[in-house]
Amino acid sequence: MKAFIRSLAMIVPVTGLLYLGINYTFPALASVACLSGTATNHSNNSLAGCVLSRNTEIRVNNSRFFCKEGQPIYFTEKGTFSGCVLSEAIEIRRSSGVEICPINAKVSFSISEDGNQFIDCM
């Protein structure tokens, strides 16, 4: 019986740690491949931007952006995606309807202090 209680004592903390690790999500995940020598950094050494060496999909919360190879991509000092040139058209849902942001358009993304997302298509 003592062996069973010791086993249980070891399993419970480990499964608790796994549970915490699995349920933590990041607001933006992306792997960015930059052309050699094009990366610039913010003063805190985080990536400010670069020229993409391949088409790249960026996901931020519920938004997806398809950034074009050979074009610049930008990030904020906190590492949040802030803009790129689109390799695929995207739909931007607004209170007045849906706006289509076409291929080769510049898109910018930001999040306000209160958590509202802003997407502009130029």
Note the pLDDT tens digit of each residue in 15-74: 444 343 333 334 444 579 999 999 999 999 999 999 999 999 999 988 999 999 999 999
Residue owning tokens 């209170």? 95
pLDDT of residue 2: 53
Average pLDDT for 80-84: 96
Residue type (1 letter), 37: G
* E strand residue ranges, 13-105: 28-29, 40-41, 47-51, 56-60, 63-67, 72-75, 81-85, 90-94, 97-101
